[in-house]
Structure 1
Amino acid sequence: MAEAFKVRLWQHFYLSLIQARNKGSIPPDLHKALMNQVKQGLLRVMDVEVISAVRRDGQKSLQWGPGLYVTGALAELEMGPISRNISGARQAAERIVNSL
């Protein structure tokens, strides 16, 4: 029962964040550079849906898996709305470095 309440609370929080934000974008020069990395096989861009996640003892490292860390929108539920701006990127980097 308490777990279901937590899930509903997080869903409400997430929907509130989504409604308060506009869709983000990246500058054209950065997009071109990223797509060049993809074409060279140096970078893989994935647009997937997360089916499940496990929270381990209040882990604040932003780690989703071995060697996989998230920032920006993917870190929003952990960090809040700040995760999508420069200050949030800095805080996310600190968390990631501290967890290594």
Structure 2
Amino acid sequence: MADGEEERHRGFFHRHKEDDEEKEPRTAEEELKHHKKLGHLGKATALAAGAYALHEKHKAKKDPENASRHKIAEEIAATVAVGAGGYAFHEHHKKKDAKERLKEEGQSDD
């Protein structure tokens, strides 16, 4: 590196705070779209994890030799499903807040 050049790439967890401050704040419409997409992702994850938990429950009945392994996988998948459902619920509330912010900004322009 050159003498006057400072090190900018420090890895994922070692970012400069100035990099975060340089970004422009999101508009209410961008924030609404962002939380809507994340909410859909959370719902899809919850659905997939729930389906996998049911699949493992079925496998545990069909394969008695490895039933304990399937029951563990079922419980993990069920936990992931609950967590993803909670995340989707959280994003739903964030989306509602963004929608209210968009409404306020729209009314202030009139």
Q: Same fold (TM over 0.5)?
A: no
The structure richer in helix per residue is 2
Greater RCO structure (CA 8 Å; 6+ sep): 2
Q: TM-score range by the shorter chain?
A: under 0.3
Query: TM-score w.r.t. structure 1 length?
Result: 0.24
**Structure with greater Cα Rg:** 2
**TM-score, with length taken from structure 2:** 0.22
